[in-house]
Amino acid sequence: MAKASATYVCQQCGSTQARWMGKCPDCGAWNALVETLAPASTKANTKARSLAATSAVATLSDVQASDVARRPSGISEWDRVLGGGLVDGAVVLIGGDPGIGKSTLLLQATAELAKQEPVLYVTGEESAAQVAMRAQRLHLDSSRIRVMAEISLERIVHAIAAEGARTCIIDSIQTICTDSLSSAPGSVAQVRECAAELTRIAKNQGVTMILVGHVTKEGALAGPRVLEHMVDTVLYFEGDNHANFRLIRAVKNRFGAANEVGVFAMTERGLKGVLNPSAIFLSHHAQPVPGSSIMVTLEGTRPMLVEIQALVDTAGISPKRLSVGLDRDRLAMLLAVLHRHAGVSCSDQDVFINAVGGVRIAEPAADLAVLLSIYSSLRGAALPAKWVAFGEVGLAGEVRPAPRGQERLREAAKLGYTHALVPHTNLPKHPDESLRGMTLMGVSRIEEAIAQVKQAV
C-alpha cells in the first residue's frame, strides 16, 4: 500500500500545495496553508470504497430503528448529560478552562468503569506518577485503572488493541501527535488527523473514546472547527474555578438531548453530583431584599430555580450596564421596553444584573424576572417571599409564553413557592393537583406585571 504523504491545504479557498508558503498562490490569503495528511489512493482502494458505498444504500423504511444500548459510568450527573450513559463506538469531546476539573472527573469515571470493563486512561500532559497522586488524593480504587503516559498516536492505537479497552480516555487531544506529520503537537493538522484516526478506531472496534480538548481565551474549543463535527458529543465545563460548583453542558449530542446540564460540587474527594441543583442557585436571605427575584429556567430536560439579582444605583456621566450570566445586549433592550411601555426609566442609573451561582442563562424566559428585579431595586421595595416569575418580553411590551411552563410551575411548587407570575398562556388549562396551594397570576403585558408587583409590595 502506498504511504501517506503530507500536503498543505488553504483554509480559505481549499487549494492544495505541495509545500508550505506564507501566501496562498490561488486566493492570496496569508498564513492560510495548513499541513494535512493525504493518503495515496490506489485503484484497489478506490474500487473497494466504491463497492462499500454501493452496498450500504437501503430504503429508510426497511431499516430497523432501535435505541442504542448505554453503559452507566457510575456518576449519575454525567450520565444525565450524556443522555443515559456511554455508548459503544461513541466519541465524546469535553472542554473547559484549565483547572476546572476535567481530569478529576474523568479519573473518577475511569475508577468506576474499571470495576466492570477494561478502561485505558492515556495522559499526554502528566506523568503516570502524577495521575497516581491524584487518584490517591481522591481516595480512588486504582487497582484496576490502566494508565499510559504517551503522546504518540501509533503507540496509543497499539495499546488500545493490546489492552482490549472498551473505553479509552485521551487527556488531551492537543498533546497527541502522529509520526505521519512533521508539525508539532497541537497544530491544526495534528489535532485533526489524530482525532480522525481515534474516531475510526472507535467506530470500527466499538470503543468509547473520550477526548479532552483545550479551550481558547474566549471559551471555545481550541483547534479546527471540524473537530466538533467529527465527534458524537460535545460537552463544556462551566463555572468559576474559585467556586465550589461546576456545570457540564451538552452543546451537541447525537445520542441524547442537547443543552442538558449536570451539576457538580467540588469536594476534597473530587466532583460529587448535586441532586437538587436549585438549592445552590438560590441565596438564603433571612428576609426578602430589594433587587432579588426567582425564576424557573429550563436546562435540557431539567427545570431549575435561579435567583436573579439586580442593583440599580445613581450613575455618573455615562450610565453602566453590566450583566453576569445573562446577555448584556438583551439587558439594554429590556430597559428600553421597561421605559417605553411601563413608564419606568433607568436612563440616569447604573444597572447591574447577576445570575446567582455562576449559571449562564441564555433563554429569553428570564426576561420577566430580570425586569422585576430591576424594578424592585430601583424602588427599594423587596418582592414578596416565595414568588417566582418567568416569561419572554417582546419589544412591543407583550409577555410571551415560555416552553414547558407546566414543568416549571411544578418544580416551583415542589420547592414550596406559593405565588407565580407567568405569561397568561402558560396558565394551566386543566386543574393540576401538583399546583394545589399555589396562586397563579397570568399577565399579557409588562405593565400588567408591574401593576401586580405594585399591589403586592
What CA–CA distance (Å, rounded) separates 321 from 188? Answer: 38
Hey, where are the domains in the chain?
A: 1-39, 76-275, 279-456
| Residue 163, C-beta contacts closer than 8 angstroms, at least 6 positions apart | 118, 120, 146
Cβ-contact 350, 382 below 8 angstroms: no
Kindly give the interhelix angle for 367-379 and 446-456, rounded to the nearest 10 degrees.
50
Give 161: exposed, middle or buried? Use CB within 10 Å, 0-12, 13-18, 19+.
Answer: exposed
- Average pLDDT in the 54-77 region? 82
pTM of full prediction above 0.75: yes
The model's pLDDT over 199-246, given as tens digits with 9 standing for 90+, comes to 999 999 999 999 999 887 666 776 667 788 899 999 998 877 667 788
DSSP line for 281-312: GS---SS--TTEEEEEEEETTEEEEEEEEEEE
Kindly state the cell numbers that stand for 300. Answer: 435540557
How many of the other CB atoms lie within 10 Å of CB of 82? 28
Q: Is the peptide bond before 142 cis (omega within 30 degrees of 0)?
A: no
Kindly give the interhelix angle for 446-456 and 328-342, rounded to the nearest 10 degrees.
80
DSSP line for 133-185: HHHHHTT---TT-EEEE--BHHHHHHHHHHHT-SEEEEE-GGG-B-TT--SPT
The model's pLDDT over 85-108, given as tens digits with 9 standing for 90+, comes to 999 999 999 998 888 889 999 999
pLDDT confidence tier of residue 61, bands split at 50, 70 and 90: confident
CATH classification code of 76-275 = 3.40.50.300
CATH classification code of 279-456 = 3.30.230.10
The pLDDT of residue 31: 83
